[in-house]
Structure 1
Amino acid sequence: MFSDNKVKGVKKHAQMKSLETAQKVDQAIQRLIKTKAKINFNQVAMESGVSKAFLYNNQEIRNRIEGLRKQQEGLNSPQTIKRNMTDASKDALIAAKNNRIKKLEEENKRLRDELLKLRGMVYDKF
């Protein structure tokens, strides 16, 4: 049905196409690293113009993307820092706000009492 030469030719073409695609992916990953963009399968697929299926099915590329993604998890972006506020820092912030509220309430009460005394003094004069 098919001659060995045709099959070899098709296989060789498929290998060449796969290598070219892998080079596109490599270049896309390099660009993402240079621009300090987030590296994940969606970003690499969009940047390289390659399907996500290719990225997932090519084990070497898949391992590289997963490794880079894990490395980036360790880096703290401003959003990550804000998201990762610890309970202790939240508790400290709440305690500081509660203290401020308490002081303002005490000052408010003192000023009201003072106002009452001054009103009484004004009414006594008349």
Structure 2
Amino acid sequence: MANKNPNIEGILNHSKIKTEQSVQKVDETLKHMIKKQLNINFNSVAEQAKVSKGFLYKNHRLRSRIETLRKQQEGLLSVKQVKRNISDASKDVIIASLRKRLKGLEQENKELKEKIKVQFGKIYDEI
């Protein structure tokens, strides 16, 4: 016959301890990510802390903290974005200098063609 009042106190205590450890692990991960200026979102936090995304979504305190940190980072440019902006600016400078060089070479080419025509005319007159 089944026990109508099972003793699940040990299981519940173990579950609470495990949850507290996971919350602590996520808190440490968030501190580390803030310090290193890493992108904070549910995927990255779950991956770094080695917990499930479901755990992060279910725990209201962690969820609101991650959402707040994510919103704070929206205005900040990431390292990749800064590098991309710098490289775009340098590309624009390179393109402008190449266009200027191309115009100069086209002009020089035009002048050389004219000189060749003159030289060919002189050679033809001598024949």
TM-score (norm 1): 0.67
Instruction: Indicate the residue corresponding to 2:57 in structure 1.
Output: 56
Q: Are residues 85 and 62 of structure 1, via their aligned partners in 2, closer, same or farther at CA, if it must alter by over 3 Å?
A: farther
**1:103 Cα shift?**
4.4
Q: Distance in 1 between matches of 2:8 and 2:71?
A: 40
2:31 paired residue number:
30
What's the offset of the Cα at 1:9?
Answer: 5.0
The equivalences for 1:33-112 within 5 A come to 33-81=34-82, 82=84, 96=96, 100=100, 101-112=102-113
Q: Does 1:2 align with 2:5?
A: yes
Query: How many positions carry a matched residue from both structures?
Result: 119
Task: Give unpaired runs (5+ residues) of structure 1.
Answer: none
Between 35-44 and 53-62, report the one with greater CA deviation: 35-44
CA 1:21–1:112 in 2, change beyond 3 Å: closer, same or farther? Answer: same
Q: Please report the TM-score for the alignment, with normalisation by the length of structure 2.
A: 0.66
Give the distance between the partners of 1:108 and 1:30, measured in 2 at CA.
63
| Fraction of identical pairs, as percent | 39
CA RMSD of aligned residues (A): 3.4
